[in-house]
C-alpha cells in the first residue's frame, strides 16, 4: 500500500538487484499499486494506511529467530532512538503471493493488548506496534541474552555451573516479574528458558507473552480456549492430569523447573510429548508425568486433597514407580547431588553455597498441590533471598567471563517483504541489505 | 495495568476532560469542513443510540455477552474521537469493533460469521468481503494505539452490591444504567467506579418498583434534584445512630455517608448524574429513521460501502 509513495522507478537501486529481480519488483509494485484502494478512484474510501512505516523508523540489522508466530529481527532506530530493538513480525495467516487481511489471531490481539498495558522492569518492554502492509510489527527493547543461551553456554566445552550469585539474581528478578504479572491478573502460560530474556547489563525480563492472558474475567473456562498450553517440560502436574482450572500456580511450577535447570543445566523433567490424535483429543502425557514421578514420587491425596478429582487421576496408578513406591520424593537427593556435583573440582563458583534454603525454595515451587505451591509473592520473601550474599539487580555482577552475544543472521533481514520461509523475495530496495547475501 | 485502573492505558490515554473531548471533535470537523457541511448528522448522543441499537442487533445474532458489547461501544467511541465519521462506513466499524471486542473479552467469533451476520443485517451497506473487516480491524487497533484492555463499571457494581445492600431490582436497574452510559461520553470522562456509584445512586433514587427508566425523562428535573439532595447531604451528615432499615431512603443515606467518608470525588458523581439524566431527556427526541437516513446517505454517496 505504502508503495504509492515509493514508485517503481526508484526501485532496483541496490547493487545486488539483478534484472530478474527488478522485473519482479516492478511487477509487484504495479500489482500493489493496482490493489491499493487509494488508487482505485473510489474517492474517499482509502484503505487503511499506517501513519508510520517500519523501515522508515528502524534499520534492520539482522534476523534473530522464527517460530510459529512469525519472525524476530534485530534493529536499531533511524531517528536517534536509544538502544537496540527486537522487532517481532507476525506471520500473516495466508502465505503466498497475495497476503490478505484475514482477521488478527486472538493470541496476537492478546499479546498486543497486554504488552501495551504492562510496564515493569522485569517484563520485556514494548516500544510500539506498527500495523503496516497487512502485517503486525511489535517493537520491543532488545535483550542480548536469554536463559536458554546462558544455560547452553555453561555446558560448553564442558559443564560448569552458573555462578550462585547469578542464579539467585535471575530467580529473584524472574519471580519479581511473575509477581507483577500475577498481581495484574496475567498468566504467562509459557515460561521456559527461551522466553526469559537477559540484557547485557544483567536485567532479567520475561518475554514472549504470546500465550499470556488475563484470568480475572474468564467468560468461558480458561480451558476451552486453547487446549494445550506451556511447553511440555515445564507443564504443571495439574495440567498434565487434565485440570481445567488455570491459576498462577502453573507459572510457578514452570519457574521451579527453570530454577532446577539453572542448577543442573538440563531440563529437570525432560519428557516426550504424546502427540494429539486424529480426533484432536488431548492425550494423557504419560511420559512427561513419568519423568516428574521419577524425581518427585507419586502425588498422594494426603498431600494434594483435590488430586482425586483430576480427570486423569486414574492414569496415575498405571505409572511405573521406582523400587520403593510411596517412599516420597527424591528431589532433595537430586538437589544436593546437583549442587555438589562440581565441588569435587574445587570450583570456587560451586552452587553448594546455595545450601538448604535453595532446596526449600525449589521444593516449594515444585509442590504437587497447586494450592500449596509457593506464589510469586511468597517465593520473593523466601529466606533463600535473604540469607547469604545480597541479591544483585545485575545477574552478571562479579562474573568475569562474558556470555556470547545473540546470534544475528544476515540471511534474511528484509523485514517488509520476504519474511516467510518459502515465500519469494521481491527485491525491494532496502539499504539495510548486506553486501554479501548468504542465500539468494 | 490490567488489574489496576490507575495505571491503566484507559486512565492515562483515554480519559479526557469535556474541553479536551470537544477540542478533539472540533479538530476533526475542521479538517473536513466540506464533508461536514455536505452531510449533516444528528448530535453525537443520537448517533450513539443508533450505534447501540445496531450493536445490540448484531450482538443478539452472535450471542455476544453484554460486557463484550460494552467494550465494542467504547472502542467505537474512542475511534470516532480520532477519525471523522464521514470518512468511515459506520456499519463496518460497528461489526469490526464487535469482532475485536469479542476476542478481547474471550468470546471470539470467526470473522466469516461476523461478516455474514453483518451482511444479513445491513445488506445494502456491508461487503461480503472478509478482508474489508480485517482491514478495518487494523484501522481500529491503530487508532486505539493497541490499547484494548478496558475497565468497566460492572465490576465495581458487583463488588459494591453488598456494601449498599442492593436488592436484585436495584442492582438490575443500576446495571441497565451502566449499559446506557455507553451511549454518552461518560466512559471517556470518568473512572469506572465513579460511573458505578452514579448508577447505584440513581437506582436508589429512581426506586425500580415505582419508577422505570423510561419515565425518567419526564421528571428528569425531579430525579436530578433528588440525587443532588442525597449527595449534598453526604458532606454534612454524620452517621445518625444505627437505624438499619432497608428502605431506599436509608440506603441513599448510607451511600451518602459512605461517600462522605471516602476519598471519592463527589463532584464527579454529581456531574455524572446530570450527564446521564440529560441523556435520558435527549433520548426522548431520538429519531431513528432520520438518524439512519443521514448515516446511510453519506455512506452511499461516498461509496464507503464498497
What tens digit of pLDDT does each residue of A228-239 get? Answer: 556 799 999 999
Tell me the percentage of chain A whose pLDDT exceeds 70.
Answer: 74
Give the alpha-carbon dihedral of A359, A364, A368, A369, to 10 degrees. Answer: 160
Looking at the partner chain, which of A51, A117, A225 has a beta carbon nearest the beta carbon of B8? A117
What tens digit of pLDDT does each residue of A127-168 get? Answer: 999 999 889 999 999 999 999 999 999 998 888 999 999 999
Catalytic residue check, A190: yes
Residue B58, helix vs strand vs coil:
helix
Q: Which of A69-73, A187-191, A381-385, B235-239 has the highest mean pLDDT?
A: A381-385
Q: Give the span between the Cα atoms of A277 and A142, in whole angstroms.
A: 39
The region of weakest confidence among A16-30, A272-286, A405-419, B115-129 is A16-30
Q: Which residues contact B297 (CB under 8 A, 6 or more apart)?
A: B39
Are A425 and A417 in contact, with CB atoms under 8 Å apart?
yes
Contacts of A213 in chain B (CB under 8 A): 106
Task: Measure in Å the smallest separation between the Cα of B106 and chain A Cα atoms.
Answer: 6
Polymer length of chain B: 306
C-alpha cell at B254: 448510607
Residue A319's pLDDT is what? 85
Q: Is B7 on the interface with A (CB under 8 A)?
A: yes
Q: Is A416 on the interface with B (CB under 8 A)?
A: no
Residue B211's pLDDT is what? 47
pLDDT top residue among B174 and A318: B174
Contacts of B65 in chain A (CB under 8 A): 219
Residue A349 has pLDDT above 80, yes or no: no
Tell me the percentage of chain A whose pLDDT exceeds 90.
Answer: 53
CATH of B5-150, one of 1.10.238.10, 1.20.210.10, 3.40.50.1260, 1.10.472.10: 1.10.472.10
Which CATH superfamily hosts domain A145-386? Answer: Transferase(Phosphotransferase) domain 1 (1.10.510.10)
Residue A41's pLDDT is what? 33
C-alpha cell at A28: 509487484
Distances (CA, A) of A418 to A71, A267, B100, B225: 11, 35, 28, 65
Residue B222's pLDDT is what? 65
Contacts of B1 in chain A (CB under 8 A): 117-119, 184
* Every domain of chain B and the residues it spans: 5-150, 153-284
Distances (CA, A) of A66 to A71, A125, A191, A226, B37: 4, 20, 18, 21, 51
The string of DSSP codes covering B182-244 is TTSSHHHHS-HHHHHHHHHHHHHHHTTTT--SGGGTTTHHHHHHHHHHHHHHHHHPPP-S---
CB contact under 8 A, B134 and A51: no
Q: Is B99 on the interface with A (CB under 8 A)?
A: yes
Mean pLDDT of the residues in chain A: 80
Contacts of B304 in chain A (CB under 8 A): 44-45
Residue A389's pLDDT is what? 81
Q: Is B39 on the interface with A (CB under 8 A)?
A: no
Q: Is A106 on the interface with B (CB under 8 A)?
A: yes
Query: Would you tell me how many other CB atoms lie within 10 Å of the CB of residue A151?
Result: 19
Nearest residue of B to residue A112 by CA position? B146
C-alpha cell at B158: 458487583
Residue A363's pLDDT is what? 97
Contacts of A106 in chain B (CB under 8 A): 103, 108
Q: List the single best residue of A101, A119, A120 to mutate versus B (max B Cβ within 10 A).
A: A101
Among B residues 155-184, those touching chain A with beta carbons less than 8 Å apart: 155
User: Residues spanned by CATH 3.30.200.20 within chain A?
Assistant: 2-141
Contacts of A53 in chain B (CB under 8 A): none
What tens digit of pLDDT does each residue of B88-112 get? Answer: 999 999 999 999 999 999 899 999 9
CB contact under 8 A, B303 and A44: yes
End-to-end CA distance of chain A: 25
pLDDT top residue among A65 and A24: A65
Question: From the candidates A56, A133, A146, A190, which is the catalytic residue?
Answer: A190
Looking at the partner chain, which of B35, B131, B303 has a beta carbon nearest the beta carbon of A101? B131
Residue A258, helix vs strand vs coil:
helix
Which helix (H) or strand (E) is B9 found in, with range? helix B9-13
Residue A412's pLDDT is what? 66
What tens digit of pLDDT does each residue of A397-420 get? Answer: 999 888 999 999 887 666 765 444
CB contact under 8 A, A218 and B107: no
C-alpha cell at A251: 507459572
Looking at the partner chain, which of A51, A109, A219 has a beta carbon nearest the beta carbon of B65? A219
- The owner of cell 502427540 is A275
Residue A326 has pLDDT above 80, yes or no: no
CB contact under 8 A, A103 and B87: no
| Confidence grade of residue A280 (pLDDT, cut at 50, 70, 90) | low
CB contact under 8 A, A118 and B1: yes
Q: Give the span between the Cα atoms of A193 and A167, in whole angstroms.
A: 13
Residue A372, helix vs strand vs coil:
coil
User: Which ipTM was obtained for this model?
Assistant: 0.89
Q: Which residues of chain B have pLDDT under 50?
A: 1, 211-218, 237-245
Residue A212 has pLDDT above 50, yes or no: yes
Residue A60 has pLDDT above 90, yes or no: yes
Residue A17's pLDDT is what? 39
Q: Is A99 on the interface with B (CB under 8 A)?
A: no
Residue A218 has pLDDT above 60, yes or no: no
Contacts of A109 in chain B (CB under 8 A): 100, 103-104, 148
Looking at the partner chain, which of A100, A101, A219 has a beta carbon nearest the beta carbon of B138? A101
Q: Is A186 on the interface with B (CB under 8 A)?
A: yes
**What is the architecture of the domain spanning A2-141?**
2-Layer Sandwich (3.30)
Residue A27's pLDDT is what? 40
| Confidence grade of residue A43 (pLDDT, cut at 50, 70, 90) | very low
Amino acid at each position: 500500500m505504502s508503495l504509492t509513495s515509493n514508485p517503481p522507478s526508484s526501485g532496483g537501486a541496490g547493487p545486488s538487484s539483478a534484472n530478474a529481480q527488478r522485473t519482479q519488483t516492478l511487477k509487484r509494485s504495479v500489482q500493489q499499486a493496482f490493489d491499493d484502494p487509494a488508487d482505485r478512484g473510489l474517492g474517499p474510501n482509502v484503505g487503511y494506511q499506517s501513519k508510520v512505516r517500519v523501515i522508515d523508523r528502524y534499520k534492520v540489522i539482522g534476523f534473530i529467530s522464527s517460530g510459529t508466530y512469525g519472525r524476530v529481527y534485530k534493529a536499531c532506530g533511524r531517528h536517534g532512538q536509544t538502544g537496540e530493538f527486537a522487532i517481532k513480525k507476525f506471520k500473516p495467516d495466508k502465505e503466498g503471493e497475495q497476503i490478505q487481511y484475514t482477521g488478527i489471531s486472538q493470541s496476537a490481539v492478546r499479546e498486543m493488548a497486554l504488552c501495551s498495558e504492562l510496564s515493569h522492569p522485569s517484563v520485556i518492554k514494548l516500544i510500539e506496534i506498527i500495523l503496516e502492509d497487512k502485517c503486525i510489527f511489535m517493537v520491543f527493547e532488545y535483550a542480548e541474552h536469554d536463559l536458554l543461551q546462558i544455560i547452553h553456554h555453561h555446558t560448553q566445552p564442558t559443564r560448569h555451573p552458573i555462578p550462585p550469585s547469578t542464579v539467585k539474581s535471575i530467580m529473584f528478578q524472574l519471580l519479581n516479574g511473575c509477581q507483577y504479572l500475577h498481581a495484574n491478573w496475567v498468566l504467562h502460560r509459557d515460561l521456559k528458558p527461551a522466553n526469559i530474556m537477559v540484557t547485557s547489563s544483567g536485567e532479567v525480563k520475561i518475554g514472549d507473552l504470546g500465550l499470556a492472558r488475563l484470568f480475572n474475567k474468564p467468560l468461558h473456562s480458561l480451558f476451552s480456549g486453547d487446549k494445550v498450553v506451556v511447553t511440555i517440560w515445564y507443564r504443571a502436574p495439574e495440567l498434565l492430569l487434565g485440570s481445567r482450572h488455570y491459576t498462577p500456580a502453573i507459572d510457578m511450577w514452570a519457574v521451579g523447573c527453570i530454577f532446577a535447570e539453572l542448577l543442573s543445566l538440563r531440563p529437570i523433567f525432560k519428557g516426550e510429548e504424546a502427540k494429539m490424535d486424529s480426533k484432536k483429543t488431548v492425550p494423557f502425557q504419560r511420559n512427561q508425568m513419568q519423568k516428574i514421578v521419577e524425581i518427585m514420587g507419586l502425588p498422594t491425596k494426603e498431600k494434594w486433597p483435590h488430586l482425586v478429582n483430576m480427570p486423569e487421576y486414574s492414569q496415575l496408578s498405571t505409572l511405573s514407580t521406582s523400587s520403593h513406591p510411596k517412599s516420597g520424593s527424591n528431589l532433595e537427593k537430586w538437589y544436593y547431588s546437583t549442587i555438589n556435583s562440581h565441588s569435587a573440582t574445587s570450583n570456587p563458583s560451586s552452587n553448594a553455597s546455595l545450601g538448604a534454603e535453595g532446596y526449600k525454595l525449589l521444593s516449594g515451587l515444585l509442590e504437587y498441590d497447586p494450592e500449596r505451591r509457593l506464589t510469586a509473592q511468597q517465593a520473593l520473601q523466601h529466606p533463600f533471598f535473604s540469607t547469604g550474599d545480597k541479591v544483585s539487580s545485575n545477574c552478571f555482577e562479579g562474573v568475569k567471563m562474558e556470555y556470547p552475544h545473540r546470534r544475528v543472521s544476515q540471511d534474511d533481514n528484509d523485514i517488509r517483504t520476504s519474511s516467510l520461509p518459502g515465500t519469494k523475495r521481491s527485491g525491494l530496495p532496502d539499504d539495510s541489505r548486506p553486501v554479501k547475501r548468504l542465500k539468494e | 495495568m490490567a488489574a489496576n485502573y490507575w495505571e491503566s492505558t484507559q486512565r492515562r490515554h483515554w480519559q479526557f476532560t469535556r474541553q479536551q473531548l470537544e477540542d478533539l471533535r472540533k479538530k476533526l470537523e475542521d479538517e473536513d469542513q466540506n464533508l461536514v457541511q455536505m452531510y449533516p448528522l444528528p448530535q453525537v448522543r443520537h448517533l450513539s443510540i443508533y450505534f447501540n441499537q445496531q450493536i445490540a442487533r448484531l450482538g443478539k445474532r452472535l450471542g455476544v455477552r453484554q460486557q463484550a458489547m460494552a467494550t465494542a461501544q467504547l472502542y467505537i467511541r474512542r475511534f470516532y474521537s480520532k477519525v471523522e465519521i464521514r470518512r468511515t462506513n459506520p456499519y463496518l466499524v460497528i461489526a469490526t469493533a464487535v469482532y475485536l471486542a469479542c476476542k478481547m473479552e474471550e468470546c471470539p467469533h470467526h470473522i466469516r460469521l461476523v461478516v455474514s451476520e453483518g451482511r444479513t443485517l445491513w445488506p445494502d451497506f456491508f461487503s461480503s468481503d472478509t478482508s474489508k473487516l480485517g482491514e478495518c480491524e487494523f484501522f481500529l487497533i491503530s487508532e486505539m494505539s493497541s490499547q484494548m484492555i478496558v475497565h468497566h463499571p460492572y465490576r465495581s457494581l458487583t463488588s459494591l452490591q453488598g456494601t449498599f445492600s442492593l436488592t436484585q431490582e436495584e442492582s438490575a436497574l443500576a446495571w441497565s444504567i451502566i449499559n446506557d452510559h455507553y451511549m454518552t461520553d461518560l466512559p471517556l470522562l470518568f473512572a469506572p467506579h465513579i460511573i458505578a456509584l452514579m448508577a447505584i445512586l440513581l437506582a436508589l433514587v429512581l426506586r425500580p418498583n415505582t419508577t422505570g427508566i423510561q419515565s425518567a425523562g419526564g421528571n428528569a428535573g425531579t430525579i436530578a434534584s433528588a440525587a443532588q439532595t442525597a449527595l449534598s447531604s453526604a458532606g454534612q451528615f454524620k452517621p445518625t445512630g444505627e437505624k438499619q432499615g432497608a428502605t431506599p431512603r436509608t440506603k441513599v443515606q448510607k451511600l451518602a455517608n459512605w461517600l462522605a467518608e471516602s476519598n471519592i470525588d463527589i463532584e464527579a458523581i454529581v456531574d455524572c448524574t446530570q450527564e446521564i439524566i440529560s441523556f435520558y431527556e435527549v433520548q426522548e427526541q431520538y429519531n431513528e429513521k432520520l438518524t439512519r437516513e443521514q448515516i446511510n446517505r453519506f455512506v452511499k454517496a461516498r461509496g464507503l460501502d464498497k
